[in-house]
Amino acid sequence: MEIHRLRFWSRRWWERDRPLLAAGCVLVFLVVIFAIRSRVKEAGVRNRAVGPTFARLDSPLVDLTLLRDAKSRGAFCLDGSPPGYHLQRGTGSGFDKWLLHLEGGGWCNDAESCAARKRTALGSSRYMEPAHFVGILSPHQSLNPDFYNWNRVKVRYCDGASLAGDVDKENLNGLELFFRGQRIWIAAIDQLLSEGLAKAKQAFLTGCSAGGLATLIHCDNFRARMAKEAMVKCLSDAGFFLDEMDISGKKTIRSFYNEVVHLQGVMKNLPSGCITAMEPSQCFFPHELIKRLTTPVFILNPAYDFWQIQHILVPSNSDLDGQWRRCRLNIRYCDSKQIEILQEFRKSLLNALSEFQQNGKGGMFINSCFIHCQTMSNITWHWPTSPRLNNKTIAEAVGDWFFERREVKEVDCPYPCNPTCSHMEFL
């Protein structure tokens, strides 16, 4: 009897108050999730911020911020999602100084390769996770001596054309794809200006790989959007891609860039003096871009950039008999004939930079390592075992140049002369 009544009561209660109960459950669930998230975040910050010993310093995880006005500006990742960045605020003397880093990640040159990116963080913010701030973004003075307390921003790359494409329509072979890199650039800078970048006394635009190329494309525009009295400079890390033939004599990179530029409508965002003088996709190459820059720029590039060796000099379809299979993955496996070819590639880089070397405002650091990006790893940026030229780490050389402590035009002797190099080993 009692049990029966209880059942009856509970059934009535269940029926009458079900919506209330459901709402209550959702609320409790949200509160729990929120509490866990903020505890995790706090713990993360606490653990990471204090590190009494050098070796225990960890890299902070910084949350993603999506662009507020993405929709109204038509600034979309390849899949139509809003782009984003990660910002860690400056402190102390760094509160009115800003360092931006443009993320890299190659390019896409046709509908298929761009559509494949929609399922990755390189084409959709749905897959982007918090970012580790290391190297030039590190908040630790011992790892990042000159920029550790600045406002530091990592701008995510999700357009596939170095933030420089712009096509209105979004249909390609029935695939919905947005080519809006230029609008992402404009909208991201607008949002950062409103976050305090507009009041920056010093600003430094940097980027690596495809982001290093984006830095060269947008450097003067960045300068123009900052206060006149601000000190503004740019740095391209592993972004000096060479217009060279591959080992089979094919112009692989030239035709690849040509496809990227035409597919994504990059022409109109390249220097007008250049696109009228030659085939527009030629103006996507750094040696054409730096000639026309008026803002001081630093070129950081290894002479044996493994990305360039694997995609420009020895793309896999240029090495059909597999003679380069080991060498292109580990420079220690190159035979003397292959080293000779690599030395010619180094000479082409220095040749493309010969005019720039006379540029009084410019800086350069061309080390003879088999590596790619060097600003975005604490090991290559500033560490007792980091690569050095003139006994300076990359962080020290870049800081010396930025703050005009000395002229920095460092060019290493040819491989294998530099014992401070850490060569990448894929094999």
Ligand X SMILES: *[C@@H]1O[C@H](CO)[C@@H](O)[C@H](O)[C@H]1NC(C)=O
Active site (catalytic) residues: 209, 305, 372
**CB-nearer residue toward ligand X: 336 or 391:** 391
Query: Smallest distance, Å, CB 166 to ligand X?
Result: 34
Q: Which of residues 292-321 bind ligand X (CB under 6 A)?
A: none
Query: Smallest distance, Å, CB 143 to ligand X?
Result: 6
**CB-nearer residue toward ligand X: 59 or 65:** 59
Cα dihedral sign for 108, 114, 120, 122?
positive
**CB-nearer residue toward ligand X: 105 or 315:** 105
**CB-nearer residue toward ligand X: 180 or 388:** 388
Place of tokens 């035709």: 255
The site string for ligand X over 44-73 (x = CB under 6 A, - otherwise) reads -----------x-xxx--------------
Q: Which of residues 139-198 bind ligand X (CB under 6 A)?
A: 143
Beta bridge partners of 411: 366
Size of site (CB under 6 A) for ligand X: 8
On the CB side of 78, CA atoms within 13 Å amount to: 30
- 293 contacts 233 by C-beta, under 8 angstroms: no
The encoded tokens of residue 184 equal 């992402």
Q: Which helix (H) or strand (E) covers residue 101, if one does?
A: strand 97-102
**CB-nearer residue toward ligand X: 1 or 55:** 55
Relative orientation angle of helices 181-194 and 210-225, to the nearest 10 degrees: 50
Q: Which of 53, 276, 358, 391 binds ligand X (CB under 6 A)?
A: 391
Largest interatomic CA distance in the chain:
99
**CB-nearer residue toward ligand X: 265 or 387:** 387
The encoded tokens of residue 408 equal 């920095």
- 263 contacts 179 by C-beta, under 8 angstroms: yes
The encoded tokens of residue 341 equal 């070819």
Query: Smallest distance, Å, CB 174 to ligand X?
Result: 40
How many angstroms separate the CA atoms of 221 and 224, rounded? 5
Q: What is the 3-state secondary structure (H, E, C) of 142-187?
A: CCCCCCCCCEEEEECCCCCCCCCCCCCCCEECCEECCCCHHHHHHH
Measured CA distances, 300 to 56, 58, 290, 393 (Å):
28, 25, 13, 12
Query: Smallest distance, Å, CB 297 to ligand X?
Result: 26
Query: Smallest distance, Å, CB 180 to ligand X?
Result: 31
Taking CA 286 as the corner, what is the angle to CA 244 and CA 233, rounded to the nearest 5 degrees?
A: 155
Query: Smallest distance, Å, CB 59 to ligand X?
Result: 5
Single-letter amino acid, residue 223? R
Place of tokens 């030395």: 343
Query: Smallest distance, Å, CB 184 to ligand X?
Result: 26
Q: Which of residues 221-280 bind ligand X (CB under 6 A)?
A: none
User: Collapsing DSSP states into helix, strand and coil, what is residue 233?
Assistant: strand
Interaction between residue 134 and ligand X (CB under 6 A): yes
**CB-nearer residue toward ligand X: 343 or 422:** 422
> Parallel, antiparallel, or unpaired for β 84-88 and 409-411?
unpaired
The contact set with ligand X (CB under 6 A) reads 55, 57-59, 134, 143, 378, 391
